[in-house]
Each structure stands twice: as C-alpha cells, then as structure tokens.
Amino acid sequence: MSQPTIDQPVTDFTATATSDTSVTLSELKGSNVVIYFYPKDSTPGCTTEGQDFRDLYNQFEAANTRIFGVSRDSLRAHENFKAKQSFPFELISDPDETLCKLFDVIKLKKLYGKEHMGIERSTFLIDADGVLRNEWRKVKVKGHVAEVLEAAKAL
C-alpha cells in the first residue's frame, strides 16, 4: 500500500468502526470522505476536534461529505467516546495501525520530555471518486474543521 498523494486515488481499505460497522473506501464512492486521525479518545484536543465535526455535521452532509475519526483506541473506548459526545459519525479503531501507516501519521512525539511514537493529528479529504484532494498535517484544532468544511464544499 502506497501513501496517498494529492490528486491520486487512495488505496482501498476496509476498517472496523463503531455501531458494528466496517468502512470500505470503495463503497463510499459517490460521496466525499473526511478521514481525521487523532491521538486519543476523551482527551481535550481530540474531544474539541470531534465536537467541531459534530457541530458542523449537517453542513458536511449538505456538501455530500462523510466523516470518520480514526485512532488506535479500542472499539469499546470509541463507542463510549462517541456516545458521550453524541457524535453522528463513526469512529474507526486502528489498533494495529494499518490506516495510520497507510496515511503515514505515526510520528515521533515528545510528551513531558519523553519520546514515543504516536498519531500526529491529521485530516484527509477524499473526493467522490476516491481521489485525495486535500491533506492537513500537524493540525491545530482551533478553526480546523471549518477549513475542512470549506474545502469539502469546493469539491
């Protein structure tokens, strides 16, 4: 699997998600897709980012855009996080980092002076034909979701 490149088709994948669903990219053709990677459920930045996607969800739907959040957390943790925050979209569990590696979001990070490998907050916008149109890496949460929405509306 090669890392997605702007204006190139994204390698098809199937991943396990909340609500007893699985997400297969090729089955989403006809809709734009936002895949956002975040480090951990129920942490402040990740909660705010998810809430922003939730709050603009209807506008994403109006722009024919599906939203999926991805982290390495378990499905059970995802279900709790989704229910607590009333997320209207599914969260993908990626404990073996298959999607994380596909999108190259596992990076060396520092926390309290200790280095570890973790998810770099990143968002990818795929058009209705399965082609990567935008990517945001090293995302700062404030204002990010509105920027993604504008890009989705422009497709």
Work out the average pLDDT over 95-104.
96
Judged by phi (left if over 0) then psi (alpha if -120 to 50, else beta), residue 20 lies in left
Query: What percentage of the chain carries pLDDT values higher than 70?
Result: 99
Q: Is residue 100 in a domain?
A: yes
Phi, psi of 71 (to 5 degrees): -150, 180
Work out the average pLDDT over 7-17.
96
Q: Is residue 109 in a domain?
A: yes
Task: Tokens for 145, please give them.
Answer: 């979701």
Q: Is residue 2 in a domain?
A: no
Work out the average pLDDT over 100-122.
92
Q: Is residue 1 in a domain?
A: no
pTM beyond 0.85: the answer is yes
Work out the average pLDDT over 96-113.
93
Task: Tokens for 135, please give them.
Answer: 């990517």
Q: Domain containing 95 — which CATH number?
A: 3.40.30.10
Q: pLDDT tens-digit profile of 32-63?
A: 999 999 999 999 999 999 999 999 999 999 99
Task: List, by residue number, the catalytic residues.
Answer: 46
Work out the average pLDDT over 127-143.
97
Work out the average pLDDT over 112-131.
95
Q: How confident is the model at residue 112, as a pLDDT?
A: 87
Q: Is residue 37 in a domain?
A: yes
Q: Is residue 131 in a domain?
A: yes
Q: Is residue 52 in a domain?
A: yes
Looking at the structure of the chain, the number of domains it has is 1
Work out the average pLDDT over 83-91.
98
Q: How confident is the model at residue 1, as a pLDDT?
A: 57
Domain that holds residue 87: 14-154
Q: Is residue 7 in a domain?
A: no
Q: How confident is the model at residue 13, as a pLDDT?
A: 96
45 contacts 71 by C-beta, under 8 angstroms = no
